[in-house]
Amino acid sequence: MRVAKVIINRPAKQLHKPLSYLMPEKFGHVLPGTRVLIPLGNSREEGILIGYEELLDPPEFKLRNIVQVLDNEPWFTPEMMDTARRLNEYYLFSYGDALRLFTVNKTLKSYEAPKEEWLVVTPDFSVEQFSERKKKQRELAKYLLEVGGASKALLLAKGFSRMVIKQVSEAKGITIESRFKATKTTFDELFTAEVNIPLTDAQQAVYEPIQEAMNSHQHKTFLLHGVTGSGKTQLYLKATAKCISQDKTAIILVPEIILTDQIVRRFVETFGDEVVVFHS
């Protein structure tokens, strides 16, 4: 007998352990990470399917059926669920609370990730379908061929007008896709073209050993000591850009929450939707 294991989306301590339910055949194969509606006592609760268990012998008690499958596809990837499981086991942190860390509002019930429209290039797309007189359209077409696709918001930030974007979007070889935004911040600025951060001579002298360590893939610690306004943040931005160019990620820890707003703004202005903010 195959039994579904479900975590209840409630902070009650007695519900921290997974509960067992039967998955009706009419729902087909439901993947772990999907939200389901289950009966609990005299009420119904939202839960998260975390996996299945094969029972060799029938249970001593009667199992109830899952009432409804709430999602067409899982909310949580296997990587998210594995991370939540590790948090649960190592820190004695409830599985449900750990999964809620992967949602924006931590309730699961009403969150819907924001989406944006993307212009995506197909093999049929070419610059030559735009005449030489349509310089902006050709410029946008060349850019899309280079990157493969981009959001309308990003194209607007790069200086392309809505009319040019519309004309290119209607061309042969372009499809419009609705994609989830990579991140959500409180700032509207998008990244400012190329990440080219000029440094003063003093900053360059400080940055060179950092760059050397990153180029040689050596783990080293550097302490930047300077008064407010001396340009330390500029070095963090430069080092982060170098890190990203090596196909790595960077974590910036801000020591005072009062500084978070200005630091995040600087990084969003430089890296746009690549920035994700965690706090509290």
Domain ranges of the chain: 2-100, 115-180, 201-274
Whether the per-residue pLDDT at 65 is higher than 70: the answer is yes
The arithmetic mean of pLDDT across residues 248-263, rounded, is 83
106: left (phi over 0), alpha (psi -120 to 50) or beta: left
Whether the per-residue pLDDT at 185 is higher than 80: the answer is no
Least confident window among 8-17, 74-83, 104-113, 202-211 = 104-113
140 pLDDT tier (thresholds 50, 70, 90): very high
Sign of CA dihedral 120, 124, 127, 131: negative
Nearest to 40 by CA among 8, 18, 72: 8
Record the pTM.
0.41
Which two tokens mark 40?
Answer: 């609990």
Whether the per-residue pLDDT at 194 is higher than 50: the answer is no
Burial zone of 83 (CB within 10 Å; 0-12 exposed, 13-18 middle, 19+ buried): middle
Higher pLDDT pick, 1 / 48? 48
pLDDT at 220: 92
pLDDT at 230: 84
The arithmetic mean of pLDDT across residues 180-193, rounded, is 52
- Cβ atoms of 191 and 147 within 8 Å: the answer is no
Pick the CATH number of 2-100 from 3.50.50.60, 3.40.1440.60, 2.30.30.90, 3.40.50.300: 3.40.1440.60
Q: What is the mean pLDDT of the chain?
A: 83
189 pLDDT tier (thresholds 50, 70, 90): very low
The arithmetic mean of pLDDT across residues 46-65, rounded, is 86
3-state class (DSSP) for residue 39: strand
Alpha-carbon distance values, 7 to 11, 39, 43, 60, 140 (Å): 11, 12, 16, 21, 48
195 pLDDT tier (thresholds 50, 70, 90): low
Tokens 């209840």 sit on residue: 8
182 pLDDT tier (thresholds 50, 70, 90): low
181 pLDDT tier (thresholds 50, 70, 90): low
Radius of gyration of the chain (CA): 25
